[in-house]
A and B are shown apart, each in its own frame.
Chain A
Amino acid sequence: MTCAKVLCQECATQWDGIWHCAACLASRRGATVQRAPILGWVLVIAASLLILFCSARVMVWTGALLAGLS
């Protein structure tokens, strides 16, 4: 609990694995929801596409190496 009050289990509510009292929950609910930054989206998508492209190239490279061995 963020306010560190002592409460019985009936008066506390669990949210994201942490116990909160009614007042703490209300303040959390009232807080503005932070949206994920656009940079995060762009970075993850760009990194994924780059990795997938590299995966295809590495797949061919490994395959050619494997074929050379057989």
Chain B
Amino acid sequence: MIRAPLSITAVLDESAELVRATAARWAGLLLLTSLPYYFLQAVFLDRILELGAKATEYGNLLRSTAYLTVLAFLLSLWGRAVYARACRLAATRGEAVGREALRVPGPALVNYIYVASLCALIGWLTFFTVFGPLLAVMVAGLAVGTMELNERPGLREPFRILTGYGRVVRIQVALVFVFLVGFLVALTNIMAAFQIGFWLLSSIGGWDIPKWSLLLSGSNRRFVLMLLAGGVLAIQPFWVAANVMLIRKAGAQETGDDLRVWFEELKRT
């Protein structure tokens, strides 16, 4: 599946094919396992905005929501690990992947959970800087791409592998910006889908249209938060696939596999 040299367009192009190859089963699992996490994050932010300045008086309520969110985060990390493995197997074989995607190696999974948790912590700690969460997203993306290269559990092992791929940082930065645009496009599409659905249903009648037009509008905070969660959810399979493809292409360039495949293709033509 490695056809073009390492570049942002090649990574995006080939990762779109990966998503198509893994969409039937594994992208569904990724979305299902990520759904509770993004939903709880939206609930947490909703409570924060609802409580306003009184939030400090509701520590127990916020803490219980935060613990639930962290539990859901663990489930979503497992889903991402399975999906990343499915992408890697599909990229290697060039065909859909079966149940072997579920067999994520233990060291790879625990090291990935460790790095992703650290990224989440850094993301929340540096929330107000904007740059901090973006950096955390970048490192978490590289962590899911390099996940299967972890052969033994260790506190330094995942970072040793990550630093080995330091040369792809430029492409990773470009990927983050492309996916930021993708997120805005996904948001617009989801919003449009809701509006079209609402418009179609309004022709049927028999239900409280004024109420629903208020609920499904930008003035409803909960609807906006759910839209944001939906936007992130929609681009997630592409984000994971792009990172897997980026690391795979960078690795192939290092071992010369890309040249070998290119020569084989040249011979065939």
Residue numbers of A with Cβ under 8 A of B are: 14, 17, 36-37, 40-41, 43-45, 47-48, 51-60, 62-68, 70
CB-based contact B44/A44 at 8 Å: no
Taking CB atoms, residues of chain B closer than 8 Å to A62 are 124-125, 127-128
Identity of the chain A residue whose Cβ is nearest the Cβ of B45 in the assembled complex: A63
Taking CB atoms, residues of chain B closer than 8 Å to A66 are 48, 127
In angstroms, how far is the closest chain B Cβ from the Cβ of A67? 4
Check: B107 CB closer than 8 A to any chain A CB. yes
CB-based contact B120/A17 at 8 Å: no
Give B26-61 as 1s and 0s: 1 = Cβ < 8 Å from A's Cβ atoms.
000000000000000000110111011111100100
CB-based contact B63/A55 at 8 Å: no
Chain B contributes a number of interface residues (CB within 8 A of A) equal to 43
CB-based contact B120/A55 at 8 Å: yes
CB-based contact A59/B117 at 8 Å: no
Identity of the chain B residue whose Cβ is nearest the Cβ of A50 in the assembled complex: B117
CB-based contact B154/A40 at 8 Å: yes
Sample (23) of A-B pairs whose CB atoms are under 8 Å apart: A17-B251, A17-B254, A40-B153, A43-B153, A43-B155, A44-B114, A48-B117, A51-B118, A52-B74, A52-B120, A55-B121, A55-B124, A57-B63, A57-B66, A58-B124, A59-B66, A59-B70, A63-B44, A63-B48, A64-B55, A66-B127, A68-B56, A70-B52
In angstroms, how far is the closest chain B Cβ from the Cβ of A48? 5
Check: B67 CB closer than 8 A to any chain A CB. yes
